[in-house]
């Protein structure tokens, strides 16, 4: 594996005409732009359909794709929508922001109209797609159709017969909601057809896609509804314990995520079939897979269901290396990144080493004056070759926002480490990017906002908050040739060029 570089930019953040980044021409243009900038990787966020809060880490399905990513321009070309219809829809007026409420209200009616005009049931390609993906698509499409019938309520609040999947109720809703189910299948057909075309285009240009797999599924998901045996649920499919993080210096109450926890003993008995299938599916979707919250495979934090905070949780043992040994035996070797951030114990470090997967090194975590001067895994001089280096991730402040918010002592640590007391603060992001790019890490991925020198108004996500996350979009004019040349120069300077 050669030294390489990439850029982190979610699909949602692409420039686009219709309110949200998607698989439109702008995505292809960005691939071309990456190629000319000497990049090898395009890292994105999970592609699943999002629920309340719009987080890609809380999805209605671990297998389905987000219908928002379907290119309306492509549907216009197919003749199932008109340009006038799409232009008339109100997706918001701010080019660098996503209005998810308007997306929901105005995009789905257009997609429904496209379906109704498509005569899709007679499409042989569609029929093949449904047949090949029926193992997950049947449950997902029914789940989404029934959810709409119950006015969007979580499945835990549905009528008992369908909540518990009684056979007569399943048959009834499949008949009653036939066209709503077919509509959901049509959306998935369009999503995967368009994604496959975009990924193949990227690969032909020498660009590899780094995808992202959340460790947990959402409670309100087709996965939890259709396969309660996989999770720590009782006979009424109510969780007995849920996921989160313990209290720490940043949160006195910890974090209560609320995701159902896995019944790992059951998974072990089945040879980890569901997890192996999930990983296989991701390896079909992406060239490299980043596994979120990797430490949860070593130990996971279990919070009794009904608790209002994470204070009364405790640690339980996860499957450990056995899961990944099974994966390699059944699927072969694949490119994986272990998201090993946060509170990392010696056993987590050992799990990462045993797996052989590169871990993550985030520069922003290195500079903390409270650390009494002890060496940090996140200082570039301590990086190892088998790692992926970042300035920050989608969960971090932008570089500029970060060094505007940290204490003066920490900012002085940054300058001392750089041996740079003179670069103006507003330009300090440039030597910090260079610091990461020249590290020994085989791979280096930089969020596009850091290359642009943007502040926290362009931040992707602030964990444990709602309302302002996952909304930022880049504008086409910001992906300039000048920026491209600057990125190309630093990539070439530190031996990370994509020569394909």
Catalytic machinery residues: 292, 339, 395
The CA distance from 212 to 388, in Å, is: 14
The CA-atom distances, in angstroms, between 252 and each of 45, 310, 312 are 28, 9, 12
Which residue, among 104, 100, 114, has the nearest Cα to 183 in the 3D structure?
114
| Bridge partners (DSSP) listed for residue 360 | 388
The three-state DSSP-derived secondary structure of 256-281 is EEEEECECHHHHHHCCCHHHHHHHHH
Task: Return the structure tokens found at 312.
Answer: 């009364």
Who contacts 248 (Cβ-Cβ below 8 Å, separation ≥6)?
Answer: 254, 343
The tokens for 388 are: 């992926």
Tokens of 367: 């500079």
184-to-43, 62, 120, 140, 151 alpha-carbon distances in Å: 27, 15, 12, 8, 16
DSSP, collapsed to helix, strand or coil, labels residue 428 as: coil
* 3-class state of residue 210 by DSSP: strand
Tokens found for residue 271: 């040879």
391 sits in the region (left: phi over 0; alpha: psi -120 to 50; else beta) called alpha
Q: What is the distance, to the nearest Å, from the Cα of residue 186 to the centroid of all Cα atoms in its chain?
A: 23
Q: Which two tokens stand for residue 91?
A: 């997706």
Q: From the CA atom positions of the chain, what is the Rg in Å?
A: 23
For 72-88, give one letter per residue: b (16+ CB within 10 A) or e.
Answer: bbbbbeeebbeeeebee
First to last CA, the chain: 14
CA 417 from chain centre, in angstroms, equals: 32
Q: Which two tokens stand for residue 217?
A: 């599924």
Cα-to-chain-centroid distance, residue 124: 31
- And the tokens for 3? 């030294």
**Alpha-carbon gap, residue 246 to 102, rounded angstroms:** 36
Please count the other Cβ atoms lying within 10 Å of the Cβ belonging to residue 500: 11
For residue 472, give the DSSP letter: B
Query: 32 is written with which tokens?
Result: 């071309």
Q: Given strand 241-245, what is the order of strands in its sheet?
A: 255-260, 241-245, 299-304, 314-317
């Amino acid at each position: 594996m050669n030294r390489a570089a990439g850029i982190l930019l979610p699909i949602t953040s692409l420039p686009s005409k219709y309110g949200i980044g998607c698989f439109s021409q702008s995505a292809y243009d960005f691939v071309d732009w990456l190629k000319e900038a000497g990049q090898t990787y395009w890292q994105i966020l999970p592609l699943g359909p999002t629920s309340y809060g719009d987080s890609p880490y809380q999805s209605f399905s671990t297998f389905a794709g987000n219908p928002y990513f379907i290119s309306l321009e492509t549907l216009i070309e197919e003749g199932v929508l008109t340009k006038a219809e799409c232009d008339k829809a109100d997706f918001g007026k701010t080019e660098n922001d996503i209005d998810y409420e308007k997306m929901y209200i105005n995009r789905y009616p257009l997609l429904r109209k496209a379906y109704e005009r498509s005569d899709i049931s007679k499409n042989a390609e569609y029929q093949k797609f449904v047949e090949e993906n029926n193992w997950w698509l049947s449950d997902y499409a029914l789940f989404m159709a029934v959810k709409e019938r119950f006015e969007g309520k979580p499945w835990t609040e549905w009528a008992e017969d369908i909540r518990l999947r009684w056979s007569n109720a399943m048959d009834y809703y499949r008949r009653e909601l036939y066209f709503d189910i077919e509509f959901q299948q049509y959306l998935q057909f369009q999503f995967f057809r368009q994604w496959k075309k975009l990924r193949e285009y990227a690969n032909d240009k020498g660009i590899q896609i780094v995808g992202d797999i959340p460790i947990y599924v959402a409670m309100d998901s087709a996965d939890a509804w259709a396969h309660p045996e996989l999770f720590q649920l009782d006979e009424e499919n109510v969780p007995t314990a849920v996921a989160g993080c313990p209290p720490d210096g940043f949160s006195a109450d910890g974090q209560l995520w609320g995701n159902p926890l896995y019944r790992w003993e059951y998974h072990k008995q089945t040879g980890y079939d569901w997890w192996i299938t999930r990983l296989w599916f991701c390896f079909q979707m992406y060239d490299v897979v980043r596994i979120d919250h990797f430490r949860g495979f070593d130990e996971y934090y279990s919070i009794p269901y009904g608790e209002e905070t994470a204070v009364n949780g405790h640690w339980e043992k996860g499957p450990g290396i056995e899961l990944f040994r099974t994966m390699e035996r059944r699927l072969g070797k694949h490119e994986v990144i272990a998201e090993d951030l946060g509170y990392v114990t010696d056993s987590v470090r050992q799990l990462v080493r045993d797996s052989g997967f590169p871990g993550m090194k985030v520069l922003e975590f290195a500079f903390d004056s409270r650390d009494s001067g002890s060496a940090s895994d996140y200082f570039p001089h301590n990086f190892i070759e088998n790692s992926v280096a970042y300035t920050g991730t989608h969960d971090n402040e932008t570089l500029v926002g970060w060094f505007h918010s940290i204490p003066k002592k920490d900012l002085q640590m940054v300058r001392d480490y750089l041996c740079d007391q003179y670069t103006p603060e507003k330009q300090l992001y440039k030597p910090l990017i260079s610091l990461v790019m020249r590290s020994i890490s085989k791979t280096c991925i930089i969020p596009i906002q850091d290359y642009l020198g943007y502040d926290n108004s362009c931040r992707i996500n602030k964990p444990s908050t709602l309302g302002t996350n996952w909304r930022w979009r880049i504008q086409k004019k910001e992906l300039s040739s000048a920026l491209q040349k600057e990125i190309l120069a630093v990539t070439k300077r530190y031996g990370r060029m994509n020569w394909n």
